[in-house]
Structure 1
Amino acid sequence: MGKYFGTSGIREVVNEKLTPELALKVGKALGTYLGGGTVVVGKDTRTSGETLKRAVISGLLSTGVNVIDIGLAPTPLTGFAIRLYGADAGVTITASHNPPEYNGIKVWQPNGMAYTPEMENELEAILESGNFRKAPWNEIGSLRRADPKAEYIKKALEMVHLDNSYTVVVDSGNGAGSILSPYLQRELGNRVISLNSHPTGFFVRELEPNAKSLSALAKTVKAMKADVGIAHDGDADRIGVVDDRGKFVEYEVMLSLMAGYMLRKFGKGKIVTTVDAGFALDDYVRPLGGEVIRTRVGDVAVADELARHGGIFGGEPSGTWIIPQWNLTPDGIFAGALVLEMIDRLGPLSELAKEVPRYVTLRAKIPCPNEKKARAMELIAQEALNSFDYERLIDIDGIRIENSDWWILFRPSGTEPIMRITLEAHTEEKAKELMEKAEKLVRNAVERA
């Protein structure tokens, strides 16, 4: 991670670290890096979006790059527009599921995949040098506005078909998904009830679509006797799902169900997930001809592996799914359409969810100053390898040790001064025993680092 770019582009509190001045420089750096061409720019609903978007656009135009401004747009729509217009890159002004005082800048490749850490490092080097391309007066970039929403819906309807109609409650959290997700569901032939669909930049619930933040959605699904509830974060790259009984479907269960459905839809193949995903996925997709590959945490790592292996489906246990047959941008809106198609083909979600094995997952955060992380991880590696009896080790992102009936992941946070421990076991007793040992080990390593 560099000075500006973290695990998901630049993400900071507005007018503190993330200022219009910085956004202007990012635009100039990206334009210099590209050396010409066209860039699609969109923003989520945050109150600071317009000022940052205009600053980025100014920077791009000054280097001679042409800009297509798609205005208020969920991240999946930016990814779609890049390919639709044959652009050379895309920029989303978003802080995804962060609180409203944050905003961010995320850059996308022509194939819809986010910029890799290596590409971000190159952008950062240009940004730091201040050595930007300056286009002469007669070569300044041109700006045009476009609205790709209708094209997005038309293309989605070519890939997803329902035989029946359903009642769907869509909770967009007052984020950018509110201008597209309910409309796609309606075009699929469903009766749609919209919650929190005011794209004002004032959020009424925590943006991450989890069990706690979606209590209103769960109640509405129950009260309206709806078939399913679909929810998104601020830029709708994530999906959270409530079943027909008004119960939030845990991320891991939903990930397994969708991976299984994609194998049924597209045939046997590879499923890509991250090192913090549990065994339920492997156990559920194996009989369906799926092979699970694990990679680093973050949508760009998942997209990268999907492209490399020609995978069928990729997803993180955070509700971030990538459907490669559609695009390499994480897309909670298209994912919502697929959830309906799965229900249409296989039956009610509450019944489907019973088929996914349930194990005990525990998570812990241990404070660790950023400057101690590298040394602490070295110590954890030495200790963990000596004190646990494991069969396999994965060290692509932190350290994951696993046995046939449990696994533990030790990983430094990319955004906070903490070490994360995630583990899974078949019984509550075993999980607690492992966590006690793991926490002790990490605290000890942080102290000695």
Structure 2
Amino acid sequence: MGKYFGTSGIREIVNERLTPELALKVGKALGTYLGGGKVIVGIDTRTSGEMLKNALISGLLSTGVDVIDIGISPTPLTGFAIKLYEADAGVTITASHNPPEYNGIKVWQPNGMAYTSEMENELEKILESESFRKVAWNEIGKLSHADPKGEYIKKILDIIELETSYTVVLDSGNGAGSLVSPYLQRELGNRVISLNAHPSGYFVRELEPNAKSLEWLAKTVKVMKADVGIAHDGDADRIGVVDDQGNFVEYEVTLSLISGYMLRKFGKGRIITTVDAGFALDDYIMPLGGEVVRVKVGDVAVAEGIVKENAVFGGEPSGTWIIPQWNLTPDGIFAGALVLEMIDKLGPLSELAKEVPRYVTMRAKIPCPNEKKKKAMEIIEREALKSFEYEKLIDIDGIRIENSDWWILFRPSGTEPIMRITLEAHTKEKAEELMRKAKEVVERAIREA
């Protein structure tokens, strides 16, 4: 991680570290890095979006870069617009699933993939040196506005086709997905019931789509006798799913099901996931001719893995899916259409979910100041290796230790001042025992750091 960029671009509390002044400099740095060309800029629904967008656009224009402002747009729409308008980069002003006081700046390549850490490091160097490109008055970039939503929906309808109509409850979380996802589902021929679809910037639920935050979605699916519930975070790069019985389908299960469906649809191949994904995925897809390859946490690592391995599909157990046959941008909206196609071809979600092995997954977040993370991880690595009897070690992103029937991942968050523990075991008792020991290791390491 650099001074500004974490695992998912820049993400900070607005008017503390993330100010209009910083957004202006990021615009100048990106324009300098590109040396001209065209950039797409979109925002999510946060109250700070317009302020930061206008500052960033000013910076880009000052370097001679043309800007197409696509307004309030889900992250996947930015990725789509880059290709549609043949741009040289895209920027989304978003903090994804973070609370409303946060915002962020994420930069995208022409192929729809997020900027790599190497590219972000180059932007950081320009930012730090402030050696920005300046152009004459008659070479300042041109600003135009566009709305690619219609083209985006039309293109998905060319790929996804349903034989039957379904009742879909859609919870957009008052985010940017409100402006696209319900309309796509309706165009697919479904009856759509929308929740939290007013893009006000004031979020009425936690933005991360999980079992707790989607309680109302689950209740609505049950009451309305709907076929499925679909939810997004603030910028709709993620998907959360509720089955036809009103049960939240765990991330590991949806990731396994959709990976299996992609293998059925496109043939045998590799599935890319991250080090925090459990054994269920391997166990479910291997009989279908799939092979799991694990990479660092973050959509850019998944996208790079997809390209490197020529993979069929890639996804994180956070509801972030990348469908390479569509785009290399994480797309919760396309993912929603794909879930409906899977139901259409294979049957009700509640029945499909029974086919996926269930293990006990536990997660914990432990507060840790950013400046202590590096030292704390060194201590955790030393202590974890002594405290647990393990068979395999993966250290591409934090530390993951594995045994035949459990694994634990210790990892510093790239977006928040916390240390994350993720683990999985075959029994609840074993998971609880591992979590207790893991927390002790992390808390002691943070104290000593």
TM range (shorter): over 0.9
CA 1:156–1:129 in 2, change beyond 3 Å: closer, same or farther? same
Alignment correspondent of 2:372: 372
In the alignment, is the contact (CA less than 8 A) between 2:67 and 2:142 conserved in 1?
Answer: yes
Instruction: Give the Å deviation of 1:330.
Output: 0.4
Select between 72-81 and 191-200 the one with higher mean Cα deviation: 191-200
Alignment correspondent of 1:408: 408
Query: 1:346 and 2:346 equivalent?
Result: yes
Q: In structure 1, list runs of 5 or more residues that go unmatched.
A: none
Instruction: Give the Å deviation of 1:47.
Output: 1.4
Letter in 2 for 1:216: W
Aligned to 1:86, the other structure's residue is in SS state: coil
Alignment correspondent of 1:220: 220
Letter in 2 for 1:107: V
Instruction: Give the Å deviation of 1:219.
Output: 1.4
Select between 82-91 and 95-104 the one with higher mean Cα deviation: 95-104
RMSD of equivalent CA atoms: 1.4
In structure 2, distance between residues paired with 1:446 and 1:84: 47
In structure 2, distance between residues paired with 1:10 and 1:16: 13
Question: What is the TM-score normalised by the length of structure 2?
Answer: 0.97
Instruction: Give the Å deviation of 1:445.
Output: 3.4
Instruction: Give the Å deviation of 1:202.
Output: 1.7
CA 1:102–1:372 in 2, change beyond 3 Å: closer, same or farther? closer
Letter in 2 for 1:321: W
CA 1:425–1:74 in 2, change beyond 3 Å: closer, same or farther? same
Alignment correspondent of 2:257: 257
Query: 1:43 and 2:67 equivalent?
Result: no
Query: 1:176 and 2:161 equivalent?
Result: no
Alignment correspondent of 2:205: 205
In structure 1, distance between residues paired with 2:365 and 2:42: 34
In structure 1, distance between residues paired with 2:338 and 2:370: 40
Instruction: Give the Å deviation of 1:359.
Output: 0.5
Instruction: Give the Å deviation of 1:427.
Output: 1.1
Alignment correspondent of 1:123: 123
In the alignment, is the contact (CA less than 8 A) between 2:270 and 2:311 conserved in 1?
Answer: yes
Deviations 1:294-331 (A, max 9, x none): 11111111111111111111111111111111001000
Select between 439-448 and 286-295 the one with higher mean Cα deviation: 439-448
Alignment correspondent of 2:25: 25
Q: In structure 2, list runs of 5 or more residues that go unmatched.
A: none
Select between 429-438 and 141-150 the one with higher mean Cα deviation: 429-438
The equivalences for 1:35-434 within 5 A come to 35-434=35-434
Letter in 2 for 1:336: G
Instruction: Give the Å deviation of 1:428.
Output: 1.5
In structure 2, distance between residues paired with 1:224 and 1:443: 45
Aligned to 1:170, the other structure's residue is in SS state: strand
Instruction: Give the Å deviation of 1:358.
Output: 0.6
Alignment correspondent of 2:9: 9
Letter in 2 for 1:408: I
Aligned to 1:217, the other structure's residue is in SS state: helix
In the alignment, is the contact (CA less than 8 A) between 2:45 and 2:175 conserved in 1?
Answer: yes
In the alignment, is the contact (CA less than 8 A) between 2:11 and 2:415 conserved in 1?
Answer: no
In structure 2, distance between residues paired with 1:174 and 1:448: 41
In structure 2, distance between residues paired with 1:406 and 1:248: 24
Aligned to 2:397, the other structure's residue is in SS state: coil
In structure 2, distance between residues paired with 1:198 and 1:146: 21
CA 1:19–1:382 in 2, change beyond 3 Å: closer, same or farther? closer
Instruction: Give the Å deviation of 1:369.
Output: 3.7
Aligned to 2:30, the other structure's residue is in SS state: helix
Aligned length: 449
CA 1:296–1:143 in 2, change beyond 3 Å: closer, same or farther? same
Question: What is the TM-score normalised by the length of structure 1?
Answer: 0.97
Letter in 1 for 2:39: V
In structure 2, distance between residues paired with 1:366 and 1:147: 42
In structure 2, distance between residues paired with 1:259 and 1:284: 9
Deviations 1:322-346 (A, max 9, x none): 1111001000000000000000001
Instruction: Give the Å deviation of 1:414.
Output: 2.1
Identity of aligned residues (%): 82
Deviations 1:257-284 (A, max 9, x none): 1111111111111111111111011111
In structure 1, distance between residues paired with 2:143 and 2:413: 39
CA 1:410–1:226 in 2, change beyond 3 Å: closer, same or farther? same
In structure 2, distance between residues paired with 1:369 and 1:197: 35
Instruction: Give the Å deviation of 1:367.
Output: 4.0
Letter in 1 for 2:252: E
CA 1:46–1:370 in 2, change beyond 3 Å: closer, same or farther? closer
Aligned to 1:91, the other structure's residue is in SS state: strand
Letter in 2 for 1:141: G
CA 1:365–1:19 in 2, change beyond 3 Å: closer, same or farther? closer
Deviations 1:77-110 (A, max 9, x none): 0000001111100001111111112111111010
Instruction: Give the Å deviation of 1:115.
Output: 0.7
Deviations 1:335-387 (A, max 9, x none): 00000000000100011111111101122334444333323322332333344
Which portions of structure 1, spanning 4 or more consecutive aligned residues, are displaced by more than 4 angstroms? none
Aligned to 2:104, the other structure's residue is in SS state: strand
In structure 1, distance between residues paired with 2:66 and 2:254: 40
Select between 254-263 and 202-211 the one with higher mean Cα deviation: 202-211
In the alignment, is the contact (CA less than 8 A) between 2:37 and 2:66 conserved in 1?
Answer: yes
Select between 275-284 and 96-105 the one with higher mean Cα deviation: 96-105
Aligned to 2:297, the other structure's residue is in SS state: coil
Instruction: Give the Å deviation of 1:290.
Output: 0.8
Select between 396-405 and 437-446 the one with higher mean Cα deviation: 437-446
CA 1:18–1:372 in 2, change beyond 3 Å: closer, same or farther? closer
In structure 1, distance between residues paired with 2:215 and 2:379: 41
